[in-house]
């Protein structure tokens, strides 16, 4: 489905779930501390259920943001390294294919981009075809 005004809204369901568990943990822990309720264990468990989705969400957001940055980096790099207009071929590739191309040296980037588009190479094949690797030491 293509994104439009009607369906573009972001609904962070996991964040809401974490907030519900956090609120339950707060109530249980405050009740256990100030009112003598025997809910400390349940409060700690609820707190754990609140933190777990937030950790998963943060990792997912980090990877998505990093992928967007890599896509932008590859657009700029292709515009600088390749002949004029060749960078438009990136539009024919998937995100995974473009991310795999980032490891190719400047010398082999153009040829590998052509081959990836022409032969519809999957990301693993693109990586196998690279002979001069550009390392990515900053990937999270």
Coil vs helix vs strand at 99: helix
Rounded (10°) CA dihedral 113, 114, 117, 122: -50
> What pTM did the predictor assign?
0.76
Distance in angstroms (rounded) separating the CA atoms of residues 65 and 103 = 18
Interhelix angle for 13-34 vs 40-81, to 10°?
150
Indicate whether 140 belongs to any domain: no
Tell me whether residue 8 is in a domain: no
- Determine the structural domain holding residue 95 and report its residue range: 13-129
Residue 5: predicted pLDDT: 86
Task: Assess whether pLDDT exceeds 90 at residue 137.
Answer: no
Residues 45-54: pLDDT tens digits? 999 999 999 9
Beta carbons of 80 and 106 less than 8 angstroms apart: no
* Alpha carbon separation from 22 to 9, 44, 49, 51 (Å, rounded): 24, 10, 8, 8
- Other C-beta atoms closer than 10 Å to the C-beta of 18 total 20
Distance CA 21, CA 133 (A): 46
What is the per-residue pLDDT across 61-105, written as a single tens digit (0 to 9) for each?
999 999 999 999 999 999 999 999 888 999 999 999 999 999 999
pLDDT digits (tens, 9 = 90+) for 26-46: 999 999 999 989 999 999 999
Residue 23 has pLDDT above 80, yes or no: yes
pLDDT confidence band for 129 (50 / 70 / 90)? very high
User: Would 22 be classed as within a structural domain?
Assistant: yes
Residue 75 lies in a domain: yes
Number of domains in the chain: 1
Tokens standing for residue 106 = 């400047």
């Amino acid at each position: 489905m293509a994104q439009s005004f009607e369906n573009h809204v972001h609904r962070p369901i996991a964040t809401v779930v974490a907030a519900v568990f956090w609120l339950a943990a707060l109530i249980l822990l405050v009740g256990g501390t100030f009112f003598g309720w025997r809910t400390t264990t349940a409060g700690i468990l609820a707190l754990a259920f609140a933190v777990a989705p937030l950790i998963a969400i943060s990792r997912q957001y980090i990877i998505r943001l990093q992928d967007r940055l890599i896509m932008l980096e590859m657009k700029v790099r292709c515009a600088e390294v390749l002949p004029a207009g060749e960078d438009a071929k990136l539009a024919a590739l998937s995100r995974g294919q473009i991310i795999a191309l980032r490891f190719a040296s400047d010398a082999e980037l153009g040829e590998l981009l052509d081959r990836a588009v022409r032969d519809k190479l999957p990301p693993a094949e693109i990586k196998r075809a690279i002979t001069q690797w550009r390392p990515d030491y900053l990937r999270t």
